[in-house]
Amino acid sequence: MIATPGRLVKGGQELPADITLVLPTFNERDNIVPLIQRGLAALADYQVEMLVVDDDSPDGTWRSVADLAEADPRVRLIRRTEERGLTSAISAGITQASGAWVGWMDCDLSMPPEALPRLAGALANGADMAVGSRFVSGGRDSGHTWVGHAFSRTINLAASLLLDWRVKDYTSGFILARRPVFDQLDLRGDYGEYCIDLLYRAVRSGFRVVEIPYHYVPRATGESKTATNPLGYISRGWNYVATILRLRFQ
């Protein structure tokens, strides 16, 4: 693991961030810099740390982030050369985050960073965890094909019915939470099922989880890391179903 140790400094003193946004990347060279810039602009009222965890992207994503980090101390890079995976990347970012509030989102610009202040506002108003949601009133999903949308709706409806109805978007992956949540709950799973597991355990542990509507849009550039055809959704879906059943009957 190679880390660029950029820190927030003022008057020669290191400052903890209000918010650390963990950005797990693999081959997102054309999306990551605009995402960081838009995120920093959206969260201009906060002390922000943008912590990119890159899995040694062949397209050089980490190089673009390293260049940005040289010019902006709010940007940090963790380049992982011996480990891979979405869940472990987010976990690595949480471990090294300096923020009192820690969150993450997809790095393909499908989740607009302009929604981040609404998540932060929910925490400021007393929530322990804010979840960007496509499936509460005001939320939309135009970023998937009809097959992908149907798959996502079905999985989330099943999770809501079998686990806890108070959560509508169990596969969100767009989260901001207070650090004590992660002191108590770790991330488990190989891919998107980690989010089902985390949100259910957060609710059952008594944390106040609030869903904030947002509009999920098609990725800006590059290739999707999720399934792109019915067979892929079925293959991926087994892990989601297994996670739901494990939580329901454990």
Tell me the pLDDT tens digit for each residue of 11-29. Answer: 555 556 899 999 999 999 9
Does this model's pTM top 0.85? My answer is yes
Q: Is the pLDDT of residue 116 over 50?
A: yes
For residues 232 and 99, which has the higher predicted lDDT (pLDDT)?
Answer: 99
Over residues 209-221, mean pLDDT: 93
Q: Which domains does the chain have, with CATH numbers?
A: 2-249 (3.90.550.10)
Average of per-residue pLDDT values in the chain: 91
Distance in angstroms (rounded) separating the CA atoms of residues 175 and 184 = 16
For residue 143, pLDDT over 80 is answered with yes
- H or E element that contains 51: strand 48-54
pLDDT at residue number 220: 76
* Max CA pair span of the chain: 56
Q: Please give the C-alpha separations between residue 104 and each of 79, 110, 146, in angstroms, as whole numbers.
A: 17, 13, 26
Asked if residue 229 has pLDDT above 70, the reply is: no
> Given a cut of 60, is residue 47 above it in pLDDT?
yes
Task: Report H helices in 97-145.
Answer: 116-124
